[in-house]
Structure 1
Amino acid sequence: MDEFKFIESITPNYYRQSSLMKGIGDDAAVVRPESGLEIVTAVDTMVEDVHFSLKTMKPYHIGYRVLGANISDLAAMGSNPAYYMVSIVIPSHWSDNQLKEIYRGMSDHAKKYRMDLIGGDTVSGNQLVVTVTVFGFVPNGRSRLRSHAREGDIVFVTGHLGDSAYGLHLLFGEKYSSDGAQYFTKRHQLPEPRVHFAEKLQMLNRLCLNDISDGIASEANEVAEASNVEIHLDYHLLPIRDELKEFPFDQQNEWVLSGGEDFELIGTVAEKDWPVVQDAAHSTNTKVTKVGYVKKEGQNSQVYLHAQQEKQILRKTGYVHKQ
């Protein structure tokens, strides 16, 4: 299949978003946002054998996951997903059917949020590379920035931590036939961003969100640095499934603190607004857990992990430095 036939095969027959004036078919797409909305955009690139492998994923999973990673960025900004663009470098050993499965995975994920594919590019190369750019809308002044954490805030996370890393461990170990194991492998292959939960929080004037793509150790440090605050986390409050607790503590720590790719959200919110977060979690069937608090001490922007009556510095890598 040549490039033009391939583009024709993935071109949508209709638009889901009323603000889309022109999608695929011209030199560029044309969008007309509604009044009172700001545009949020993000881009992510995934490379074969670096970010994904056919040893642990089918082509369908690759498409579903690469779009999911971008949608999670939109959720972390509090925005509603609207459009996506795909640029793909195609090596000769990838078949047309495999490529169609990648796009089918993206299309199925996009349908959940009424997203439209509005463009992209295809070129030949030695290694499969998929770059996705997403666009979303958020009400004016409601973007959820990492710099929005304040002293006295409650720190919370959605879902469970370490699920995706443990799922990858199972996939490499080829021990994923049981129903319980399939839950974790699905968490790795088919992530579900917290879009609806974040949307329910758009009423709040101030809220800090960050998606957990590189592990909570990294994401908490990003918030602390951007807001110039201390983040204090209680390890015993972190939501960890029992299956992970069966492993040695160091292994459990690695998955939970720096395993990443759970695409959950870490956030901070004023204590008076915590009930709003709980209501949003309940209405969207989202698990949410209070895991710490924000403190302001001079110009310090550290993350501290409290465990077994000790307070230790938590580095971005998940490394715990004893004071």
Structure 2
Amino acid sequence: MDSIEEIDLINLIEKMFDEPAPGLALGIGDDCAAIRPATGFETLITTDTLVEGTHFKRDLTTPDSLGRKSVCVSLSDISAMGGRPKFLLLSINISKDINKTWIVKYLHGFKAMAKRYDCRLIGGNITRSRNLSFTVTALGEVSKGFRIDRSGAMPGDLVFVTGSPGDSALGLDLLNRRGANYTSGERKLIARHQKPEARVEWGQILSSGRIASSMIDISDGLALDLKRVLKASCVGAVVELSRFPLSTEAGKIVKANGAKAWRRILSGGEDYELLFTAPPAKLKALDRFQKSGKIKAVRIGEIVKGKGHLTIIKPEGGELKIKKEGWLYNQQ
């Protein structure tokens, strides 16, 4: 096994990631990084941890994909507030069975995703641990007055979602069955789980165009994350599944499994799509962005009175009850 010492890994990371960036005064190599906040902007800061056995299984992904996903998870939070990603910090807890080949592939995936969104790794930490884990802190910026919070939804606003939520959870289900001969549609679901995208450009459009009144990224399940918006905004919502943007393969699974599949789609999480609300007066502006291909979003419901109350209407009518609304660490 080609093991790697801490100092060698630090040197490798410095070589791979030490590069200049606007607003970066001092990067990797000192006790701290130093950044210059831009005038007229607010700084956004978020952190997320991926722990083996809790958030991922090594035999169900690749190190490259895991590196990409580590970046996506945190940048999705930046996008949910309409921000632009700038800098990343990475802390790695390395278990003894991780070798140099594996970690290099992880770092290449990490760098590729960071480059995709034009942000820089500026520091972090490395230690040995029983369990493999990665903690990423992301820093971004948003123009003052343009930040989108969870707390801005109002009765009468419409509820929108980007992409096709639920694909990631269905892809994970396929992986857990340990199959080998997947159809092309099933492989698309698996890719949505292993290689998610942060909707950074879309979040910036919703912010700069002042379209969204509230927003959150779907990380823990659409139902649970929507509930968080409702609680923060002191409102309720009605979601109509007849409007829901299912992918072709997800549609087949819903047709075969009905309410069970819908519950999985609404509670599975790890979609990293954007869930947002917008007043009817903003529909024309949103439609212009849709027609130009700059964003893909579908209306799925409406904000109503009633703090935190969510009603989900099945395509055929009647309410769909969901006992487990999303992913919570103490329920796993």
- How far the C-alpha of 1:285 sits from its partner, in A, is 4.7
The answer to whether residue 247 in structure 2 is matched with residue 210 in structure 1 is no
Which of residues 189, 195, 208 in structure 2 aligns to 1:184?
A: 189
The answer to whether residue 39 in structure 2 is matched with residue 30 in structure 1 is no
Percent identity reads 31
The answer to whether residue 134 in structure 2 is matched with residue 130 in structure 1 is yes
Which of residues 310, 321, 325 in structure 2 aligns to 1:303?
A: 310
Partner SS for 1:55: helix
Matching residue of 2:229 = 223
Contact map agreement 1:155 1:269 (CA 8 A) in 2: yes
CA distance in 1, matches of 2:180, 2:101: 28
Matching residue of 2:244 = 238
CA gap of 1:29–1:284, structure 2 versus 1, over 3 A, is: farther
CA distance in 1, matches of 2:44, 2:163: 24
Matching residue of 1:321 = none
Which of residues 1, 5, 10 in structure 2 aligns to 1:7?
A: 10
The answer to whether residue 59 in structure 2 is matched with residue 55 in structure 1 is yes
Matching residue of 1:265 = 274
Give the alignment of 1:111-126 within 5 angstroms.
111-126=115-130
CA distances 1:278-299 after superposition (whole Å, capped 9, x unpaired): 33344455421000111124xx
Contact map agreement 1:83 1:118 (CA 8 A) in 2: yes
Contact map agreement 2:18 2:28 (CA 8 A) in 1: no
Partner SS for 2:134: strand
Matching residue of 1:107 = 111
Structure 2 unaligned spans of 5+: 327-332
TM-score, normalization by structure 1:
0.92
Matching residue of 2:80 = 76
- How far the C-alpha of 1:190 sits from its partner, in A, is 0.5
Partner SS for 1:247: helix
TM-score, normalization by structure 2:
0.90
CA distance in 1, matches of 2:129, 2:193: 27
- How far the C-alpha of 1:183 sits from its partner, in A, is 1.1
Contact map agreement 1:197 1:284 (CA 8 A) in 2: no
Please say which of residues 173-182 and 234-243 is displaced more in the overlay: 173-182
Poorly superposed stretches of 4+, deviation over 6 Å: none
Q: Which amino acid aligns with 1:217?
A: A
CA distance in 2, matches of 1:215, 1:247: 21
CA gap of 1:293–1:159, structure 2 versus 1, over 3 A, is: same
CA distance in 1, matches of 2:320, 2:130: 45
- How far the C-alpha of 1:110 sits from its partner, in A, is 0.5
Contact map agreement 2:87 2:139 (CA 8 A) in 1: yes
Contact map agreement 1:218 1:315 (CA 8 A) in 2: no
CA distance in 2, matches of 1:115, 1:221: 31
Q: Report the structure, 1 or 2, having the larger helix content.
A: 2
CA distances 1:160-183 after superposition (whole Å, capped 9, x unpaired): 121001111222222453322221
CA gap of 1:44–1:176, structure 2 versus 1, over 3 A, is: farther
What's the RMSD between the two structures over aligned residues? 1.8
Q: Which amino acid aligns with 1:302?
A: H
Give the alignment of 1:149-168 within 5 angstroms.
149-168=153-172
Q: Report the structure, 1 or 2, having the larger strand content.
A: 1
Matching residue of 1:145 = 149
Contact map agreement 1:85 1:117 (CA 8 A) in 2: yes
Q: Which amino acid aligns with 1:138?
A: V
- How far the C-alpha of 1:69 sits from its partner, in A, is 0.8
CA distances 1:141-170 after superposition (whole Å, capped 9, x unpaired): 211111011111110000012100111122
CA distances 1:21-63 after superposition (whole Å, capped 9, x unpaired): 1110111011102111110011001111110011210111111
CA gap of 1:211–1:316, structure 2 versus 1, over 3 A, is: farther
CA distance in 1, matches of 2:325, 2:190: 23
CA distances 1:46-93 after superposition (whole Å, capped 9, x unpaired): 111110011210111111112111111111011001111100111111
Partner SS for 1:310: coil
Matching residue of 2:69 = 65
Give the alignment of 1:248-287 within 5 angstroms.
248-287=257-296
